[in-house]
Amino acid sequence: MPKSNKSGPRTAEPQASLSVFDAVTIMVGLVVGIGIFRTPSIVAANVESELAFLAVWVAGGVVTLIGALCYAELAAAHPHAGGEYHFLSRAYGKPVAVLFGWARGSVMQTGAIAGVAFVLGDYLAQLFPLGPYGSAIYAALSIIVFTTVNVIGTWQSKTLQIAITLVEIAAVVAIILFGFLSSPVQPPAAPSEASPNAALGMAMIFVLLTYGGWNEVAYLTGEIKDAPRRIAKVLVLGTAAIATLYVLANAAMLAILGLEGLRASDAVAADMMRIAVGPSGAVIVSLAVVVAAISTLNATIFTGGRVYYAMARDLTLLPRVGEWNERGKTPANGLVMQAAVALALVGIGAGTRDGFQAMVDYTAPVFWGFLLLMGIAVFVLRWREPDHVRPYKVPLYPLTPILFCLTCAYMLHGSLAYTGVASLIGLAVLAAGAPLLRFQRPDKTEIVAVAQPGPRSAPSLNQAP
Q: What is the pLDDT of residues 419-433, one digit of tens each?
A: 667 677 778 888 887
Least trusted range by pLDDT, from 157-161, 169-173, 408-412, 418-422: 418-422
Residue 292 resides in a domain: yes
Pairwise CA distance, residues 268 & 253, whole Å: 7
Other C-beta atoms lying within 10 Å of the C-beta of residue 48: 13
Q: How far does CA 80 lie from the centroid of its chain?
A: 17
Query: In angstroms, rounded to a whole number, what is the distance separating the alpha carbons of residues 451 and 157?
Result: 20
Q: Over the range 379-396, which residues count as b (16 or more CB within 10 Å of their CB) and which as e?
A: eebbeeeeeeebbbbbee
116: nearest Cα among 266, 285, 294 = 294
Q: Provide DSSP, 265-326.
A: -SSHHHHHHHHHT-HHHHHHHHHHHHHHHHHHHHHHHHHHHHHHHHHHTTBSS-GGGG--BT
pLDDT digits (tens, 9 = 90+) for 210-256: 898 888 787 777 778 887 888 888 899 999 999 999 999 899 888 88
Q: CB burial class (10 A; 0-12, 13-18, 19+) of residue 191?
A: exposed
Other CB atoms within a 10 A radius of the CB of residue 173 amount to 14
Q: Is residue 85 part of a domain?
A: yes
pLDDT band for 11, please (50, 70, 90 cuts): low
315 pairs with which residues across the strands? 440
Task: Give the DSSP letter of residue 153.
Answer: -
Domains in the chain, number: 1
Select from 169, 196, 229, 149 the least CA-distant residue to 28.
Answer: 169
Tell me if 164 is assigned to some domain.
Answer: yes
The answer to whether residue 422 is domain-embedded is no
Average pLDDT rounded to a whole number, residues 264-291:
75
Q: What is the mean pLDDT of residues 258-273?
A: 78
- Whether 355 has a pLDDT exceeding 70, the answer reads no
pLDDT of residue 12 exceeding 60: no
CB atoms within 10 A of CB 130: 14
Find all residues with CB under 8 Å of 24, minimum gap 6, and list them. 234, 237, 238, 241
> For residue 204, what is the DSSP state?
H
pLDDT for position 402: 96
Mean pLDDT of 197-216: 77
Asked if the structure places residue 306 within a domain, the reply is yes
Please state the rounded mean pLDDT for residues 284-294: 78
**Distance between CA atoms of residues 120 and 136, nearest Å:** 10
Amino acid identity of 210?
T
**Average pLDDT value for residue range 21-43:** 81
- Calpha distance 3→1 (Å, rounded): 6
Instruction: Round to whole Å and give the CA distance between 292 and 253.
Output: 18
Q: Which domain holds residue 131?
A: 20-359
* 3-state SS, residue 456: coil
Residue 8, pLDDT > 50, answer: no
Give a yes or no: residue 28 inside a domain: yes
Read off the CATH number of the domain in which 208 is found: 1.20.1740.10
State whether residue 135 is helix, strand or coil: helix
User: Which pLDDT score is estimated for 458?
Assistant: 32
What would the mean pLDDT of 372-393 be, rounded to a whole number? 93
- The answer to the question of residue 349 being in a domain is yes
- Long-range (24+ apart) CB contacts under 8 A made by 49-56 are 49/259, 50/254, 50/258, 50/259, 52/200, 53/250, 53/254, 53/259, 53/262, 54/247, 54/250, 54/251, 54/254, 56/200, 56/203, 56/204, 56/207
What is the distance between the alpha carbons of residues 30 and 215, in angstroms, rounded to a whole number? 10
Cβ atoms within 10 Å, residue 324: 24
Q: What are 18's strand-pairing partners?
A: 224
- Determine the Cα–Cα distance for residues 295 and 293; give it in Å rounded to an integer: 5
**CA angle (124 as vertex; 119, 130 as ends), nearest 5:** 115
Q: Do the domain assignments include residue 446?
A: no
Given pLDDT bands bounded at 50, 70 and 90, which one contains residue 35? Answer: confident
Its pTM stands at 0.74
